[in-house]
Structure 1
Amino acid sequence: MPEAPQEGSDFARLPHESVHRLTKPLAWFLRIEAVAAAVLLFFTIAAVGLANSPWAEAFLGVWETPLGLRVGSQEFVRSIKDWISDGLMTLFFFLVAVELKRELVLGELRHPRMAALSVSAALGGMAVPAALYLLLQSGQAGEAGWGAVMATDTAFVIGCLALLRSRIPQSLRIFMLSLAIVDDIGAILVVAIGYGHHLAWSALVAAAVGLVVVRLMAHVGIRSMPLYILAGISIWFAVDRSGIHATITGVVLGLMTPTGRWVSDERLYRILDRVVAHPAGNNNEGSGATQDRQSLRLAETAARETLAPAERIQIALHPWIAYCVMPLFAFANAGVPLSMGDLGDAVTVAVFVSFALGKPVGILAFTWLALRLGAVKPPELDWKLLVGGGILAGIGFTMALFISNLAFDKSLINQAKLGIFLASLFSAAAGLTLLFWVTRQKSRAL
């Protein structure tokens, strides 16, 4: 009978590999919230720089390269930029919807009076900028772009807050994150409803059937991730053909993702006790069908299923979205030729004013109204901090660019992007400055 490893032995942990010398520091690096915003900023600056360089034509042209496939009479061909904006961004909205559901079921938003504050602020942050934009652009060529000024960029806002570290209370981070998530969901609903095409009902019915199939798969206990991925892709193509913007698929599937665990902690520990109880199998047995191997496979499944599907998906997808999808989207969409002559353009001014002024005004006004109607505000989240957060919400960068590509005519898109850039820069600088000053005053008072 083989000897049991001594307590404290290296056998009590996973084997060490040389690659861990790289992965451990990398894991620590990726945990820093500000890194995602820094990566996004780097690719944004790179895109703007290349769009205003001698290589501008080649850089902008590569994103228009057609890519796709044909199956019989069906054709799925679009530019690289469109595949990024319509395809990869579906993963972003899927992750946002999963985060929203987790917040609604397990997080701060599960308390109705707490949730009312963030939801109301988000609604104000969408409604007031859109109304202000329509007021400034009424009857003009850019009137249809009202949806572009409703969005808040989650990555940049959270990244800016991360720069302040412990200077700000955790309640402000939770408030801004919840606001941004609700804001993103609202933005994609605006895209689906306000910027969709004529509906193809047969494709829409096919998408609905696909969603029913996904729900039945979850109900009967199917847990194979490849099957759900295949179903999700099929639904995406059906929605894409229906005339509704395909990224809504990510929102619907994200909200359908279960937040409950299949295996409880108690059951996991009992299964692990079985693993400990079985002696190691004969190393010469090649079948791998020994009782201890079966117990190990059972323990592997149980350990995986102690995390809810929503949590596993969030852990798996978040790094890819933050460090690949969003930077790639910015690299493909942020390249705009800058011209001083566009600074006074009506669309540029309307976009800038709507973000820089409309966002904080809308958030603060609806927050005040929610409090008057019974919403609850954490005591440490005072109005000065809310003003700073409201100004930061004027960073609409990624989502604003996404909607601008749908809302504006090609003759106006560069003016709209310039307004988005200027408003995002102003909001980041003004919001961080105010929050730094407020927290410094508080630290001095202590």
Structure 2
Amino acid sequence: MRRVRGLTVGRVGSWPALRSPITGGVLLLAAVLLALLWANVLSGAGYEGVWRTELTVGVGDLSITEDLRHWINDGLMALFFLVLGLEVKHEFVAGSLRDPRAAAVPIAAAIGGAVLPAVIYVAFTVGGAGSEGWGIPMATDVAFAIAVLALLGSRIVPAIKTFLLTLAVVDDILAVLVIAVFYTETIVPGWLFAAILGLAAIKVLQRAMVSSVPVYVLIGLIVWVCMLESGVHATIAGVALGLITPAGSFRGRDILHALKGRIEPVTALVIVPLFALANAGVVLTGGVVGDAASSGVALGVLVGLVVGKPVGITVTALLVERVGLGRLDPAIGVAHLVGIGALAGIGFTVSLFISDLAFDGPELAQLAKIGVFAGSLISGVLGAILLLRATRPLISSGPPPAKTALETD
């Protein structure tokens, strides 16, 4: 921190209130409501007009022209995916994914909780328009889910949060793979090779113990541009950069946690709410809601999130433990699993992201987003209720049980 004319100035991430998951969730929710208000009450045409405004960055042939929505979705969201990459790297090196047996259950649960919603979506859309949107209900919005857990307070044991975080990390990996493999239309090999060379250059600099931040930022921007021009979604550059970040000590510093600590508050408090503001402005007038109620796209997303997520997660987790491939924390029962699965049905941010990638026209994307809104809202409320019921204190007329050694510590 530093002082300027008697005022203490620090980084945003150093303020505890701003680092709270509840704060990020509130800002995200506020951005969604503002986008809906802007598109439906103020001016739908004005809303689209703003986000379709083109902006050119660069000079002459060395320039990129995109509208504001694409600068947010392809550019700023790369930082969001960079944080995802950092989280994945940490979990595999020093976190809950390091122990294969302990990680087996949430990994399998994440896969089951991604596959079943996709199957449900396909069942609703088979033979009709919109079948390519099967990736939409696969995603989990960890920011919203953790914010709900935080609202539930100390009654939520740490094992539940750890399981949900591990599941969400694996879910993020699956979402990135789906985006990279299935929602990439045309690949330009030369640009993709250039992006890979840029990543390799960063690894060489790391081995040479180069610590110049501007150098890494410059190469990172070059990797992003190459990925954008390659046809692979540009946000994959953020994931790749996060995965190659050193996980241990680098010249006496923990680079991974330092980088995550600086970027994560910006993504949670600014970039993700801005993304929601630019993408959540779905027009709900003119019979659109009625169309969604009979649309396979909207219903497939909604049922996939509300039903597919908890059923897929719970059944897969119990099956993996039953056959002895992994172990579930004793503090997590079946009721907890169902509640965690319901919270995982909050697919907001990445689901909206895939909605815009999956469809060429805005009509189907609008229907999918209505399904995302409804499914995420129902999942959040249902998950909170289920977890509260599963963790409600026992009523006893006798004295409270003695604390264990672990609880005393």
Secondary structure, aligned partner of 1:133: helix
Q: 1: CA distance between counterparts of 2:14 and 2:69?
A: 30
State the one-letter code of the partner of 1:311. Answer: H
Q: Does 1:341 align with 2:286?
A: no
Alignment pair present for 1:434 and 2:380 = no
Q: Per-residue CA shift, 1:141-200, capped at 9, x if unaligned?
A: 110000111100011000000011110110110111111122122112111110112211
Distance, in Å, in 2 between the alignment partners of 1:173 and 1:166 is 11
With 403-412 and 415-424 compared, the bigger mean Cα shift is at 403-412
Q: Which residue of 1 aligns with 2:363?
A: 411
Aligned to 1:160: 148
Counterpart in the other structure of 2:105:
117
- Paired position in structure 1 for 2:403: none
Question: Equivalent of 1:391, from 326, 342, 349?
Answer: 342
Cα separation, partners in 2 of 1:102 and 1:24, compared to 1, 3 Å: closer
Which deviates more, 141-150 or 337-346?
A: 337-346
Deviations 1:281-312 (A, max 9, x none): xxxxxxxxxxxxxxxxxxxxxxxx3x311011
For structure 1, which runs of at least 5 residues remain unmatched after alignment? 1-12, 264-304
Q: Which residue of 298, 310, 315 corresponds with 2:261? A: 315
Q: Which runs of 5+ in 2 are unaligned?
A: 401-409
Matches within 5 A, 1:362-381: 362-371=312-321, 372-381=323-332
Paired residue type of 1:314: K
Equivalent position amino acid for 2:101 in 1 = R
1:20 aligned counterpart, secondary structure: strand
Question: 2:217 & 2:257 partners in 1: Cα distance?
Answer: 16
Partner of residue 405, structure 2: none
Identical amino acids, percent of aligned pairs: 40
Secondary structure of the residue aligned to 1:245 is: coil
Shift of 1:72: 4.2
How far is the alpha carbon of 1:341 from its aligned partner?
1.6
Query: Paired residue for 1:350?
Result: 300
Partner of 1:53: 41
Q: Which has the larger radius of gyration?
A: 1
Residue aligning to 2:406: none
Q: CA deviation at 1:18?
A: 3.2
Map 1:13-28 → 2, pairs under 5 A: 18-20=6-8, 27-28=15-16
Q: What's the counterpart of residue 289 of structure 1?
A: none
Structure 1 runs (4+) deviating above 6 angstroms are: 13-17, 21-26
Q: Distance in 2 between matches of 1:54 and 1:21?
A: 37
Other-structure match for 2:115: 127
Q: Distance in 1 between matches of 2:272 and 2:117?
A: 24
Separation (CA, whole Å) in 2 of partners of 1:72 and 1:314: 35
| 2:180 matches 1:192 | yes
Give 1:14 shift.
8.2
- Give the paired residue count: 391
The separation in 2 between residues aligned to 1:25 and 1:246, in whole angstroms, is 26
Look up the SS of the partner of 1:152 in the other structure.
coil
Q: Distance in 2 between matches of 1:22 and 1:213?
A: 33
Q: How far did residue 132 of structure 1 move?
A: 1.2
Whether the aligned pair in 2 keeps the contact of 1:68 and 1:76 (CA below 8 Å) is yes
Query: What is the CA deviation profile of residues 319-355 of structure 1, one whole-angstrom value per residue up to 9, with x for unaligned ones?
Result: 1011001000001000001133222222111111111
Correspondence for 2:353 among 391, 402, 409: 402
Q: Residues 162, 443 of structure 1: CA spacing in aligned structure 2 closer, same or farther, 3 A cutoff?
A: farther
Instruction: Tell me how far 1:33 sits from its aligned partner.
Output: 2.1
Find the residue that maps to 1:419 and give its secondary structure.
helix
Q: Secondary structure at the match of 1:86?
A: helix
| 3-state SS of paired residue (1:444) | coil
Q: 1:106 to 1:23 in 2, by over 3 A?
A: closer
Q: Structure 1 residues 344, 334: closer, same or farther in 2, change over 3 A?
A: same
| Residue in structure 2 matching 1:361, options 284, 288, 311 | 311
SS in 1 for 2:57: strand
Residue 277 (structure 2) aligned to one of 331, 334, 337: 331
Assess if the C-alpha contact under 8 Å between 1:210 and 1:231 holds in 2.
Answer: yes
Which of 185, 201, 205 aligns to 2:193? It is 205
Structure 2 CA distance for partners of 1:242 and 1:54, relative to 1, 3 Å: same
Kindly indicate whether residue 373 of structure 2 is the aligned counterpart of residue 421 of structure 1.
yes
Contact map agreement 1:98 1:255 (CA 8 A) in 2? yes
**Paired position in structure 2 for 1:104:** 92
Give the partner amino acid of 2:290: G
